[in-house]
C-alpha cells in the first residue's frame, strides 16, 4: 500500500478542535503552550472557547488549523506511520512540509503566523473576494475570468472536476459570477473570506513572506510533497522555498495534485486535520481511491498502521 497524507486549509476550522489533544496528550499540551508563546496571544483559548467570528479571521484561522494538523500528524508518527507522499491545500502545504521534515513545528508556525497576518493585512487594504463555481469545466471558468474587463479576477482553486474557486477584485468577481450563471453553472456561491487569496491581489503578502522564507533554514524532505503551484512532487529545500512563495498569488492545483499522486502509485489517502473537506474532494476526483481521516484524539487511538 502506498499511503499519501493530505492536510486541509482554511474552511476546515471549528471551535473546540484540538481540545482533546491538549487534554489527553503530552505533545498536544506542549505544542499549544509553544503556540501561545509564538503567536504572542492565547491562541489556545481562542480555538477552544472563542467565537466562530474570531476563528474565521485569517490571522487566527491559519495558525489554528496548522497547530491541530501538526499535533495529529506527530501523534500518528509515534505509531510509525509510513507515508510515501503528502500534499496540503493552501495553508495545509505548511502542515505537509512539517510532516515531511522540511522544518519543525516552531519554524512552521512562525511562517504561518506571518503568512496569515500578511494575507489579512493585504485583504483589509484591497477590496477583494472569492466565489465557488460548480458545474463548469475548468477551461470555461478560466475563459470567463479572462473575459471580465471590470477588474482582476482569476481561477484560484482547481479543487475537483466541476468545482473551481475564483478570486479577485469584488466588482470583477461579481461580474464573473453572473457570467458563470449565464454559462450554465449549477451553483455559484460567494465565499465568506477576508481577501482575494491565490490571486495577483496577494502580491504584497507574497513579498513579505518571501523575505522571511529566504532567511529560514529549510531541509530536504523525507518524502515528496506535491505542491499547489505546479501539482508536482518536490523534496529539495530550494524548491520548497520557491513553491511556498509562489503559492500565495498563484492557483491551487488540487485536482491535478491528487491525480498525479494516484498516477505515481498512491492508492490510499489519509486526511490529517480538522474536517473532511479533502476526503470529499477525493471522491469527486477519483471514486476508486480509498480515503479516510484523522481529526481527533479518538481517531488517532483507533487508527491502525
Residue-level pLDDT at 290: 87
Our answer to whether residue 90 is catalytic in this structure is yes
Q: Tell me the pLDDT tens digit for each residue of 220-267.
A: 999 999 999 999 999 999 999 999 999 999 999 999 999 999 999 999
Residue-level pLDDT at 280: 94
Q: Which residues contact 132 (CB under 8 A, 6 or more apart)?
A: 163, 164, 165, 187, 188, 189, 191
Residue-level pLDDT at 295: 97
Residue-level pLDDT at 305: 79
Q: Is residue 302's pLDDT more than 90?
A: yes
Q: Is residue 173's pLDDT more than 90?
A: yes
Does residue 49 sit in the same domain as residue 88?
Answer: yes
Residue-level pLDDT at 109: 98
Which of the four pLDDT bands, split at 50, 70 and 90, describes residue 194?
confident
Q: Which residue among 44, 69, 90, 95 is the active-site one? A: 90
Residue-level pLDDT at 192: 86
Q: Report if residue 195 sits inside a domain.
A: no
Which of the four pLDDT bands, split at 50, 70 and 90, describes residue 154?
very high
Which of the four pLDDT bands, split at 50, 70 and 90, describes residue 93?
very high
Residue-level pLDDT at 304: 86
Does residue 12 sit in the same domain as residue 120?
Answer: yes
Q: Report if residue 13 sits inside a domain.
A: yes
Mean per-residue pLDDT, 159-166: 97
Does residue 99 sit in the same domain as residue 225?
Answer: yes
Question: Cα–Cα distances in Å, from 135 out to 50, 132, 160?
Answer: 36, 10, 10
Q: Is residue 1's pLDDT more than 80?
A: no
Mean per-residue pLDDT, 77-91: 95
Structural domain tally of the chain? 2
Task: Examine the fold and report which residue of 162, 190, 218 is the final residue of a domain before the chain moves on.
Answer: 190
Does residue 39 sit in the same domain as residue 109?
Answer: yes
Range from 104-118, 234-248, 281-295 carrying the lowest mean pLDDT: 281-295
Domain span holding position 214: 3-124+200-302
Q: Report if residue 173 sits inside a domain.
A: yes
Q: Tell me the pLDDT tens digit for each residue of 115-140.
A: 999 999 999 999 999 999 999 999 99
Mean per-residue pLDDT, 51-62: 95
Q: Is residue 289's pLDDT more than 90?
A: no
Does residue 44 sit in the same domain as residue 102?
Answer: yes
CATH number at residue 154: 3.30.70.250
Our answer to whether residue 255 is catalytic in this structure is no
Residue-level pLDDT at 256: 98
Residue-level pLDDT at 123: 93
Q: Is residue 270's pLDDT more than 80?
A: yes
Does residue 233 sit in the same domain as residue 155?
Answer: no
Q: Which residue among 12, 95, 118, 198 is the active-site one? A: 198
Does residue 102 sit in the same domain as residue 132?
Answer: no
> H/E/C letters for each residue in the chain?
CCEEEEECCCCCCCCCCCHHHHHHCHHHHHHHHHHHHHHCCCHHHHHHHCCHHHHCCHHHHHHHHHHHHHHHHHHHHCCCCCCCEEEECCCHHHHHHHHCCCCCHHHHHHHHHHHHHHHHHHHHHCCEEEEEEECCCHHHHHHHHHHCCCCCEEEEEEEECCEEEEEEEHHHHHHHHHHHHHCCCCEEEECCCCCCCCCHHHHHHHHHHHHHHHCCCCCCCCCCEECCCCCCEECCHHHHHHHHHHHHHCCECHHHHHHHHHHCCCCEEEEECCCCHHHHHHHHHCCCCEEEEECCHHHHHHCCC
Q: Which residue has the cell 522555498?
A: 241
Does residue 47 sit in the same domain as residue 169?
Answer: no
Mean per-residue pLDDT, 87-114: 98
CATH number at residue 79: 3.40.366.10
Average predicted confidence (pLDDT) for the chain: 96
pTM to 2 decimal places: 0.97
Task: Examine the fold and report which residue of 167, 190, 213 is the final residue of a domain before the chain moves on.
Answer: 190
Amino acid at each position: 500500500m502506498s499511503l499519501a497524507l493530505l492536510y486541509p486549509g482554511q474552511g476546515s476550522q471549528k471551535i473546540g478542535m484540538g481540545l482533546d489533544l491538549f487534554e489527553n496528550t503530552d505533545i498536544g499540551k506542549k505544542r499549544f503552550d509553544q503556540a501561545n508563546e509564538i503567536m504572542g496571544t492565547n491562541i489556545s483559548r481562542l480555538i477552544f472557547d472563542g467565537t466562530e467570528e474570531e476563528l474565521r479571521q485569517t490571522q487566527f484561522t491559519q495558525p489554528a488549523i496548522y497547530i491541530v494538523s501538526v499535533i495529529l500528524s506527530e501523534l500518528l508518527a509515534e505509531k510509525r506511520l509510513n507515508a510515501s507522499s503528502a500534499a496540503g491545500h493552501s495553508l495545509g502545504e505548511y502542515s505537509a512540509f512539517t510532516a515531511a521534515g522540511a522544518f519543525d513545528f516552531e519554524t512552521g508556525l512562525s511562517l504561518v503566523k506571518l503568512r496569515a497576518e500578511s494575507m489579512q493585512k493585504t485583504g483589509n487594504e484591497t477590496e477583494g473576494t472569492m466565489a465557488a463555481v460548480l458545474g463548469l469545466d475548468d477551461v470555461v471558468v478560466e475563459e470567463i475570468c479572462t473575459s471580465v474587463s471590470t477588474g482582476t479576477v482569476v481561477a484560484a482553486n482547481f479543487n475537483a472536476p466541476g468545482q473551481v474557486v475564483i478570486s479577485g477584485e469584488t466588482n470583477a468577481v461579481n461580474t464573473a459570477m453572473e457570467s458563470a450563471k449565464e454559462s450554465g453553472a449549477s451553483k455559484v456561491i460567494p465565499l465568506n473570506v477576508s481577501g482575494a487569496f491565490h490571486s495577483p491581489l496577494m502580491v504584497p503578502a507574497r513579498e513579505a513572506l518571501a523575505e522571511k522564507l529566504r532567511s529560514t533554514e529549510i531541509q530536504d524532505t523525507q518524502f515528496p510533497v506535491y505542491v499547489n503551484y505546479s501539482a508536482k512532487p518536490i523534496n529539495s529545500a530550494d524548491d520548497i522555498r520557491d513553491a511556498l512563495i509562489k503559492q500565495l498569488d498563484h492557483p491551487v492545483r488540487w485536482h491535478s495534485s491528487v491525480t498525479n499522486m494516484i498516477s505515481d502509485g498512491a492508492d490510499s489517502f489519509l486526511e490529517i486535520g480538522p474536517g473532511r473537506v479533502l476526503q470529499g474532494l477525493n471522491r469527486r476526483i477519483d471514486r476508486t481511491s480509498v480515503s479516510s481521516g484523522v481529526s481527533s484524539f479518538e481517531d488517532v487511538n483507533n487508527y491502525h498502521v
